[in-house]
Chain A
Amino acid sequence: MNWLAFCSIISAAIAVSFGAIGPALAEGRAVAAAMDAIARQPEAASTISRTLFVGLAMIETMAIYCLVIALLLLFANPLLK
């Protein structure tokens, strides 16, 4: 195995593992804030949860980007051709 493939695999793992930290913390904060809001105002639960879902999707996209970068490194790496 040449060093280029080695570096690609290592950086794919780093991309996914470190890229998951930020979105995980952010999603935790978002869900905590939404639960707080629902506990205060149960009648607004449907609006809050819809906004929460959209927000979670936005946050999650960051982690998905990292996953896609990792997959590009592993399966579609232009340097390894």
Chain B
Amino acid sequence: MMSPLASVPLFHIGPVPVTEAVVATWGIMAVLVAGAALLTRRLKLDASATQTAFELIVETVDSQIRDTMDAEPGPYRGFIGTLFVFIFVANWTTLIPGVEPPTAHLETDAALALLVFVAIIWFGVRASGIGGYLATFATPSLVMVPLNLVESVTRTFSLLVRLFGNVMSGVFVIGIVLSLAGLLVPIPLMALDLLTGAVQAYIFAILAMVFIAAGTGGTKPKERKSQ
């Protein structure tokens, strides 16, 4: 059986090997960018049915950001929304026969986790300056600085391992069942895999929000507006 940690290069561009996961990622990116460009080309105030459906997605992302981060979604919508949509679509590419989700490979997840790691620093510095961001490492007391420094690396690593482990184990289990029993038997497992994929995309986005909010110091309790 092929190792789930290995990735086979499909072809080479010069000295750079291009793997199946990279091609799948490019495909997903192309579809998402083309879809977004096509949908936002004719935006009207008096929205059509399609536009309303997609506005609903944006509204949901906005309200999740507002609830989780206690902040206005404006600066975070692009990053968090793209993360969620990309991971969601990537996990559901199992529906296309012959395509393995790129998130089932370590490299894609490492890239996504690295993006979150950089975004935490970026949003933290933008919200409160370099000094203010560094001060968040000493938040409860100065004794916590080494622990907080270690945590900022380990939580990135755990983001990576969580997404990789969940998606890869789904693909792996389906592969094993498929090699044991033929038709129809793996279908319930595939349905479960779709559910796991959606939940993992949601969790990745939520955790990215929580970490960014911790970096910007935005988790302080705010006074609730009375409805």
**A45-81 contacts to B (CB < 8 Å):** 46-47, 50, 53-54, 57, 60-61, 64-65, 67-68, 71-72, 75-76
**A18-59 contacts to B (CB < 8 Å):** 46-47, 50, 53-54, 57
- Closest Cβ neighbor of A54 among chain B residues: B206
A50, B68: Cβ atoms closer than 8 Å:
yes
* Number of A interface residues in the complex (CB < 8 A): 16
Assembly CA distance A57 to B199 (angstroms): 9
A67, B169: Cβ atoms closer than 8 Å:
yes
B206, A50: Cβ atoms closer than 8 Å:
yes
When A and B form their complex, what is the total count of cross-chain residue pairs whose Cβ atoms lie within 8 Å? 46
Cβ of A34 to closest chain B Cβ, rounded Å: 15
Query: Please, which residues of chain A bring their CB within 8 A of the CB of B6?
Result: 75
A54, B169: Cβ atoms closer than 8 Å:
no
**B169-212 contacts to A (CB < 8 Å):** 169, 199-200, 202-203, 206-207, 210
Assembly CA distance A45 to B5 (angstroms): 39
Cβ of A73 to closest chain B Cβ, rounded Å: 11
Interface residue tally on B, bucketed by range: 20 to 34
Q: Is the interface of B mostly helix, strand, loop or mixed?
A: helix
B210, A54: Cβ atoms closer than 8 Å:
yes
Query: Please, which residues of chain B bring their CB within 8 A of the CB of A72?
Result: 5
- Closest Cβ neighbor of B63 among chain A residues: A46
Cβ of A55 to closest chain B Cβ, rounded Å: 10
A residues lining the B interface (CB < 8 Å): 46-47, 50, 53-54, 57, 60-61, 64-65, 67-68, 71-72, 75-76
Selected A-B contacts with CB under 8 Å, 7 pairs: A53-B202, A53-B206, A54-B203, A54-B207, A68-B161, A68-B164, A76-B5
B residues lining the A interface (CB < 8 Å): 3-6, 64, 67-68, 158, 161-162, 164-166, 169, 199-200, 202-203, 206-207, 210
Q: Can you add 10 more A-B contacts, CB < 8 Å, to A64-B162, A71-B3, A71-B5?
A: A50-B67, A53-B202, A54-B203, A54-B210, A61-B161, A68-B161, A68-B164, A71-B4, A75-B6, A76-B3
